[in-house]
Amino acid sequence: MGTKIIFYIVAGLMILFSILSVSTTRVIRAAVYLLFVMMLMGGIYFLFGYNFLAGVQLTVYSGGIAVLIVIAVLLVHNIDHRMEKIPLIEYLWKGSVLLGGSILTIFTINQFPFKRIAGTEDVSVSKIGTQLLSLGEGGFILPFEVISILLLAVMVAAIIIAKGEVTKNEEK
């Protein structure tokens, strides 16, 4: 019962911060609200007992991504830069379309009779570790390899873009 209430509170806060994040006119605040959402989501993972995942969420997402965004915002904006607002009418009609979309989606989800597969609930870190490096069925060694290439490639891409043009003089 307690967890239930906590869940509802967390979920409520998450939705609230999400809304704030996309509606505030200050980018820096938006970034901060996003950080809150991520942290709250980490909280939910804790609630589910996925501690490892929650940790990753908090470190990578909240600690990495959100901070990166905040830095980016600071790089390109004054701290109290406000965005121009787009016309209300656009808000309303895009909002209503998306509201309709979300209702449709939730409706569709609710129509589907999910069935729980009985089994152990044990997702231990060690199991994850074993599985991640397993070569066989249910193993994730290959994705692991691919994501390493992905990260490498993205890093290279980010670097060339970030390092800027190398003029001839510099090369010499």
Partner 1 sequence: MGDFTYTIWIFILPIAAFLITGLFGSKMPAKVSGWIGTASITVALMLALRTAYQYFIQVGFVEGHRPTVFAYKEVWMNFTETLTFDMGILIDPISVMMLVVVTFISFMVHVYSIGYMKGDKGYYRFFAFLSLFSVSMLGLVVATNIFQMYFFWELVGVSSYLLIGFYYDKPSAVAAAKKAFIVTRFADLGFLIGILLLSYHAGTFDFMTLVSEDGPLLAQSAPPVFMGLSIFGVALSLIFIGGAGKSAMFPLHIWLPDAMEGPTPVSALIHAATMVVAGVYLVARLFPAYHGVDGGVVLNLVAWTGAISSLFAAIIAMTQDDIKRVLAFSTMSQIGYMMLSLGVSGMEGHHGLGYMASMFHLFTHAMFKALLFLGAGSVIHAVHSNLMSDMGGLHKHMKITSWTFLIACLAISGIPIFSGFFSKDEILVAAFEHNKVLWAIEYIVAGITAFYMFRIYFGIFWGKRREYHHTPHESPMVMAIPLMILAALTMVVGWAIPFGNYVMPDRMAYHGHIEWSLAIPSVAIGALGIFVAYIFYFKETSLPEKVSSAFGQSYGWAKDKFYFDEIYQFFAHKMMFAGVAAPIAWFDRHVVDGFMNGVGWMTETFSYLLEGWQSGKVRQYGFSFVAGLLVILFAVLYLNGFIDFKG
Partner 2 sequence: MIEGITVYDVLAVSTIIFFIGIFGFVTRKNLISLLISTELMLNAVALNFVIFNKFLYPGQIQGYVFSLFLIAVAAAEVALAIAIIISLYRMDNSVDADDMDTLKG
Partner 3 sequence: MNNYLLMRDEFVLLGIILLLLVAEIMLIGKNRKAVVGIATGLFIVHTLVGFLPLAEGTMFGGSFRTNHLLHNMKSIMNVGVVILLLQTWTWAREEWSHKGRVTEFYFLIFSTLLGMYYMISSGDFLMFFLGLELASLPVAGLVAYDLMKMRSAEAGVKFILMAGVSSAVSLFGISMIYGISGSLYFSEIAQNFHLSGLGALGLLFFMSGLAFKISLVPFHFWTPDVYEGAPVPVTSYLSVISKAAAVFALAIVLFLIGREFVSVWKPAIYWMAVLTMTVGNLFALRQKNMKRFLAFSSVAQAGFILLGILSYDQMGMTSVVYFSAIYIFSNLATFGVVQVISLKTGREQMDDYNGLYRTNPKLALVMLLGLFSLAGIPPVAGFFGKFFLFMAAAAHGYYWLVIIGVINVTISLYYYLLVVRAMFLRKSDTPIESFQAEIPVKIGLALAVVGILFLGLYSPFYDFILNLTTNI
Residue 5 engages partner 3 in binding (rule: CB under 8 A): no
Residue 137 engages partner 3 in binding (rule: CB under 8 A): yes
CA-nearest of 72, 77, 78 to 162 is 72
Residue 35 near residue 73 (C-beta atoms within 8 A): no
Q: Binders of partner 3 among 67-126, rule CB under 8 A? A: 105, 108-109, 111-112, 114, 117
Residue 52 near residue 128 (C-beta atoms within 8 A): yes
Per-residue interface string for the shown chain with partner 1, residues 39-78, x marking contact by CB under 8 A: ----------------------------------------
Q: Binders of partner 1 among 103-122, rule CB under 8 A? A: 104, 107-108, 111
Of 5 and 135, CB closest to partner 3: 135
Measured between its terminal Cα atoms, the distance across the chain in Å is 70
CB neighbourhood size of 13 (10 A): 15
Q: Which does 156 bind (CB under 5 to 8 A by kind): partner 1, partner 2, partner 3, none?
A: partner 3
- CA dist., res. 29 & res. 21, Å (int): 7
Q: What is the CA radius of gyration of the chain?
A: 22
Of 108 and 126, CB closest to partner 1: 108
Contacts to partner 1 by CB under 8 A: 94, 97-98, 100-101, 104, 107-108, 111
